[in-house]
Amino acid sequence: MPRTPSNDRRRRAASMFAAALAAPVLLLAACGDEPPAVVATATATAEATPAPTQAPTEPPTATPTPTPAVAFDPDLHRLVDKERALPEGYEPDDLVALPPEYHAPEFGGLMLREEAAAALDDLMAAAAAEGGLDLRIRSTYRSFEEQVRTFEFWVEFLGEEQARRESAVAGHSEHQLGNTVDFASEGAGWELIEEFGETPEGRWLAEHAHEFGFAMSYPPDSEDITGYIYEPWHFRYIGVGAAAAWKEDGRPLILFLEDLAEQGE
């Protein structure tokens, strides 16, 4: 966040992501020893009694593993949106630099909190290994001062009304948390545009990012709830357990986190 409104670069990717993920095979094994064979014996005075016919048994049914209960983490799940601001002077104390090979062309100096950076390493490796995807990153942590400059730029470029739909006022940005990533791909011209969601990289993220603890903050058709346009490139790290629960919940991230916070009170 925010997107770059570049019409000449708005093109839809021609190829669809078709990499199949190896599905784990569930092996069902019968428990206990096999029953001993029944042997019929004949005598001069009595006929052998046939062994009783055993009714067929149904194979055991695999029971899906329920989503584990998730506790609200006041640090990792901190509420920040248009109405709720971060504390004055908020700055993570465990930021680490991301490797240069993660950077989108002409972007650098990207940092994330340690836990989020480690999860991002796994995500980037999986995207490359499973789908041959070339995910890159345009934006991560932004300080309060940097967000001031970012928002002012978009106000000048788009006008204040539109800028408020696409960029956060300083103190209200998820990027200041140090857990948020704006992804990019060559298929979308390395731009932060809606068409990114239709590239193989965007599709893969929408399907698998939660497996690594990342949740899409601003999904389609949710601007009336989030206050921001659909941003298929913007993902916030909330932890693997919470992201699995969020994915199952199906609602915009801010509603999920609000409920999580209420349960933690």
SS3 182: strand
> What region does 179 belong to: left with phi over 0, alpha with psi -120 to 50, or beta?
alpha
Closest CA to 140 of 165, 167, 113, 115: 113
| Rounded (10°) CA dihedral 150, 201, 250, 2 | 10
Among the listed residues 231, 248, 258, 262, the single catalytic one is 231
Q: What is the CA radius of gyration of the chain?
A: 26
Q: Where are the beta strands (DSSP E) in 44-135?
A: 95-97, 111-113
Which distant-in-sequence residues (6+ apart) come within 8 Å of 79 by Cβ?
254, 257, 258, 261
Residue type, 94: D
231 is catalytic: yes
Give the chain's length.
265
Q: Which residues does the annotation mark as catalytic?
A: 231
